[in-house]
Amino acid sequence: MDPLRRKTVLTLLALPAGCGINPTLPPLRTEPLAGPGSEPKIRPPALGQSWTYQKFNWFNSVLVATEREEVTAINPKIIISRKTEAGVVLPEEHDSQWGQVLRDPTWDFVQNYVDPVPWWPQSLTVGTGTSMRTHYRLDDSSFLYWITVNTTVKAWEKVHLSKGEFNALRIERFIGIHHKDLTRASTTRRETLWLVPEIGRWAAHEISGNYLTTGKEASYEREVSFRWELTAWT
């Protein structure tokens, strides 16, 4: 990473979470849990497993879509097919193994990683963290962009959603990327996953981000931000 880009990423990392962001979507209602006495085991993927989420715009609370995810292949890689309640087919997620994503469709453009990027660390002990740097490419392109991902298991929490309550591990991810938009000097994202081991997926997933524009009047801007809330699973 060149010195300017490194300085920018470190500056953004130092900003408090949500800096410059005033969401209108009410925060999730959570409460701390002691957690189990031993490390939990994640339900492994199987054909036909599915999860349905309501996707909300973080800034105006609008329900953007209801999305259904389904495991449609598990060998040689795990494929999660996605579509909206209206029948719109969404880009697939690909994992090399459960929790190790090769193709992430949750950004504003699909990212295909050279090395698998963890949704969560291999160890789910609270306090465990991982840090990695790899590259990604866009669909129908061979050009590589760098990406850094820091992932931490923060705490056990009970999450209260409109469709039920879940005991979950709060996983936090901080991501910095070389964006395809060359007018951006830096792009960062913060993600929080409330991972529920018994269902093999998260009960809720929040994303928010910032970027620094280039030029004489450089400024920090915010990414479109969303929350997904689980409504059903099989």
Domain boundaries, the chain: 3-233
Q: Over the stretch 186-229, which tens digit does the pLDDT of each residue have?
A: 899 999 999 999 999 999 999 999 999 887 778 889 988 999 99
- For tokens 């497993």, what's the residue? 49
Is the pLDDT at 17 greater than 60? The verdict is no
Instruction: Say whether domain 3-233 belongs to CATH 3.30.379.
Output: no
Distance of alpha carbon 1 from alpha carbon 192, whole angstroms: 25
Map residue 15 onto helix, strand or coil.
Answer: coil
Is the pLDDT at 74 greater than 70? The verdict is yes
Amino acid 224: pLDDT: 82
Contact status, residue 62 vs residue 70, Cβ threshold 8 Å: no
Q: What percent of the chain has pLDDT over 70?
A: 90
Is the pLDDT at 91 greater than 60? The verdict is yes
Map residue 13 onto helix, strand or coil.
Answer: helix
Distance of alpha carbon 128 from alpha carbon 108, whole angstroms: 29
Amino acid 194: pLDDT: 98
Q: What is the rounded average pLDDT of the residues 54-68?
A: 96
- For tokens 């949500």, what's the residue? 18
Q: Over the stretch 144-158, which tens digit does the pLDDT of each residue have?
A: 999 999 999 999 999
Amino acid 188: pLDDT: 94
